[in-house]
Every structure is written in structure tokens, then in C-alpha cells.
């Protein structure tokens, strides 16, 4: 019997119907177009209701860009105004009916479920998805089950402490995310340009506010001095973070995804070499590093898997 899945992002809702072998039977993408609060919840309920009715789905999975508080059935999603403690589970149960099973989880949990179901880590039961984009998070699968932690916050690795001294701006997004997320690359570039007044490279033209991570990767490929330093710093931090994950969880695979991987995928060999310097030596010999095979669809496939398994088991 088919399953419905929905992946909520900061700007759009992706939804799909899956066969039990992972075949996509139907998919759609709807811009949020300024929707906030209850309007976003209504959109999810309306699209899932349509797919369940039109394909006779028995259950639905939803992943959200933030924290799902399973004990209360509520969502904290900082990119969705009005979703500080939004009662999404009750809304979907009311809209879809009590006979339809609804499972909700964080996007990072969905990423690793998608990759172990239909992506780079098919069949693997101990794996981590390291998502690097606007923020940084990790979906951690151990023994075939998603690790969520006491308050469903496990995997918020943007707050990994990877350097000293502490900087006040780490309060807002964490040390690791401050330097090695997409916006973090820009922050490091701006810091370096401010400290090197003799710099006259191509990033100066966009330094006033238009600079983004894509500009830095492009400048790196052309040998720009600041861009080379920014990416070298990020590779070191990505490698250190991966080493910490390897030493803590002894995974079989770490999958790198998100918008930055992407263009950073070509640095996986350098990231692996850096991780090897820091990680527990037996564990690092047992792990494989790989790029996401599902790309921007990892969350959508993960939502489908949530619908199938009712709670994040492979």
C-alpha cells in the first residue's frame, strides 16, 4: 500500500507518494509564498489529505526544519514564523482522521533515514548524515534506530566546540556552524578581508552584502587567496567534526549532504585525511565517507520512510 511523505523547508513544501519499494508514484513542490503559523500547517494537511485520498495511502510521514517534540507533538522551527511550539501532530490527526497513522520528525533524522533506505547508505544500520547548509546538523542512526536524545535535540552539532577562545557570536549558532556552514564561510571570509587590508581579490566586489558561499567556492577554484584560506579552514573543521562523530559513535558510514555538499563534495578526500588525524584509530579505519546520493530529496525520501516505519527505524 502506498505511503505519503512531506518535507517542509523554510521556503517550500515538497510532498510525494511512495510505493513500498521506494518508487515515486507522485510528487509536487509548493512554495510557502509568505505563509506563516497555522497557514503552513493547513498547507501540509491539505496536500497530505489530497495524496492520501487519491492514492489510498495508509500513513504519512512529515519532516520539519527544526525540532519535533515527540512528547507533546509540537514543532519548533525557527524559519517558520509562529512555529515556536506548533501543535502539528494534533492538526494533522484532526485533518487526516484517526485511522491514518502520522509520524513527524526533524529533517536531520529524515536525511539519514532517506539515505539508508534509497541513497548512499542503503541497508546500513550505523550511519550519520552530516548536513551542511544554512545551518549544520547531524542525523544519527545507531543500531538501526534514530538517536534523538532526552529532549529530541540530539544531532545539533552546529554547537560542537571546535576552537578557542569562545566568541560571543557562538551563542547564536554554535562554534562549528559559525565558521563552516554556508553563512559561516561568508563570516570567515569577511573576517579575513578585514584583517588583511592589502587584499585586492575578487571577493571584495561582493563584500558589502552580496557575498555568498557559492562565490567563495568559485573564487577558490580560481586561486583567490582569501577563498583558499576560508575553504582550508572549513575542511579542517569538517574533518575535526567527522572525527569526533567517528570516535563517539563508531559508524559504518558518514554521508555529507546539504547545500554546501554540493560544491564541497570534491573535498571529501581532504576531509577524510583531516579526520584521520584526529579520530580514534580503530574506528576511523572502519568508516566510509560518501556524498549524499539523494541530494535535496533526502528529506523527502526520509519522510516516506517515516511513514513506512512509524518512527525512524531502518
Contact 267/235 with Cβ under 8 angstroms? yes
- Residue from 260, 259, 256, 226 nearest 241 by CA: 256
pLDDT recorded at residue 1:
86
Residue 7 bridge partners (DSSP): 14, 63
List of domains in the chain: 3-114+297-309 (3.30.420.40), 121-292 (3.30.420.40)
Spatial CB neighbours of 52, under 8 Å, sequence gap ≥ 6: 4, 60, 96, 100
Residue 146 bridge partners (DSSP): 141
pLDDT recorded at residue 313:
60
Contact 310/103 with Cβ under 8 angstroms? yes
CA dihedral 175, 179, 183, 187 (to 10 degrees): 110
Largest CA distance in the chain: 67
Contact 83/43 with Cβ under 8 angstroms? no
Q: What is the CA radius of gyration of the chain?
A: 20
Q: Is the dihedral of CA 105, 311, 117, 181 positive or negative?
A: positive
**Residue 280: strand, helix, or coil:** coil
How far is CA 54 from its chain centroid? 30
- Please report, in tens digits, the pLDDT of each residue of the chain (314 residues total): 899 999 999 999 999 999 988 999 999 999 999 999 999 999 999 999 999 999 999 999 999 999 999 999 999 999 899 999 999 999 999 999 989 999 999 999 999 999 999 999 999 999 999 999 999 999 999 999 999 999 999 999 999 999 999 999 999 999 999 999 999 999 999 999 999 999 999 999 887 689 999 999 999 999 999 999 999 999 999 999 999 999 999 999 999 999 999 999 999 999 999 999 999 999 999 999 999 999 999 999 999 999 998 655 65
CB atoms within 10 A of CB 268: 18
Distance, in Å, from the CA atom of 37 to the CA atom of 108, rounded to the nearest integer, reads 22
Contact 201/211 with Cβ under 8 angstroms? no
Distance, in Å, from the CA atom of 84 to the CA atom of 255, rounded to the nearest integer, reads 29
Extract the C-alpha cell encoding 130.
Answer: 552530516
Contact 132/258 with Cβ under 8 angstroms? yes
- Residue from 271, 191, 265 nearest 236 by CA: 271
- Residue from 85, 60, 59, 58 nearest 71 by CA: 85
Distance, in Å, from the CA atom of 10 to the CA atom of 56, rounded to the nearest integer, reads 29
Residue 145 bridge partners (DSSP): 142, 313
Transcribe 80-115 into DSSP letters: STT-SSB-HHHHHHHHH-TTSEEEEEEHHHHHHHHH
Extract the C-alpha cell encoding 259.
Answer: 547545500
Q: At what angle do helices 225-249 and 182-195 cross, to 10 degrees?
A: 130
CB atoms within 10 A of CB 103: 24
- Strands 145-146 and 136-142 turn out to be antiparallel
pLDDT recorded at residue 209:
80
- Residue from 287, 288, 289 nearest 256 by CA: 289
Amino acid at each position: 500500500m502506498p505511503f505519503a511523505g512531506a518535507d517542509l523547508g523554510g521556503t517550500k513544501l515538497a510532498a510525494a507518494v511512495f510505493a513500498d519499494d521506494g518508487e515515486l508514484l507522485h510528487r509536487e513542490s509548493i512554495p510557502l509564498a509568505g505563509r506563516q503559523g497555522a497557514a503552513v500547517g493547513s498547507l501540509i494537511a491539505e496536500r497530505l489529505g489530497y495524496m492520501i485520498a487519491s492514492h489510498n495511502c495508509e500513513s504519512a510521514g512529515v519532516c520539519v526544519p527544526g525540532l519535533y517534540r515527540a512528547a507533546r507533538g509540537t514543532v519548533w522551527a525557527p524559519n517558520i514564523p509562529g512555529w515556536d511550539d506548533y501543535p502539528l501532530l494534533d492538526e494533522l490527526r484532526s485533518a487526516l482522521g484517526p485511522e491514518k497513522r502520522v509520524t513527524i520528525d526533524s529533517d536531520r533524522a529524515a536525511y539519514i533515514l532517506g539515505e539508508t533506505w534509497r541513497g548512499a547508505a542503503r541497508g546500513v544500520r550505523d550511519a550519520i548524515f552530516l548536513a551542511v547548509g544554512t545551518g549544520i546538523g547531524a542525523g544519527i542512526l545507531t543500531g538501526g534506530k534514530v538517536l534523538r536524545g532526552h529532549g529530541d535535540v540530539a544531532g545539533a552539532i552546529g554547537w560542537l566546540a571546535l576552537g578557542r577562545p569562545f566568541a560571543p557570536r557562538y551563542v547564536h549558532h554554535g562554534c562549528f556552524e559559525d565558521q563552516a556552514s554556508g553563512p559561516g564561510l561568508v563570516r570567515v571570509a569577511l573576517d579575513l578581508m578585514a584583517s588583511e587590508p592589502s587584499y585586492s581579490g575578487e571577493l571584495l566586489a561582493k563584500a558589502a552584502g552580496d557575498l555568498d558561499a557559492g562565490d567563495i567556492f568559485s573564487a577558490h577554484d580560481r586561486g583567490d587567496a582569501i577563498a583558499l584560506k576560508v575553504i582550508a579552514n572549513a575542511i579542517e573543521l569538517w574533518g575535526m567534526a567527522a572525527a569526533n562523530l567517528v570516535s563517539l559513535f563508531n559508524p559504518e558510514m558518514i554521508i555529507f549532504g546539504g547545500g554546501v555538499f554540493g560544491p564541497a563534495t570534491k573535498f571529501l578526500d581532504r576531509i577524510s585525511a583531516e579526520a584521520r588525524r584526529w579520530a580514534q584509530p580503530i574506528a576511523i579505519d572502519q568508516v566510509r565517507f560518501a556524498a549524499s546520493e539523494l541530494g535535496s530529496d533526502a528529506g523527502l525520501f526520509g519522510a516516506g520512510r517515516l511513514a513506512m516505519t512509524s518512527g525512524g527505524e531502518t
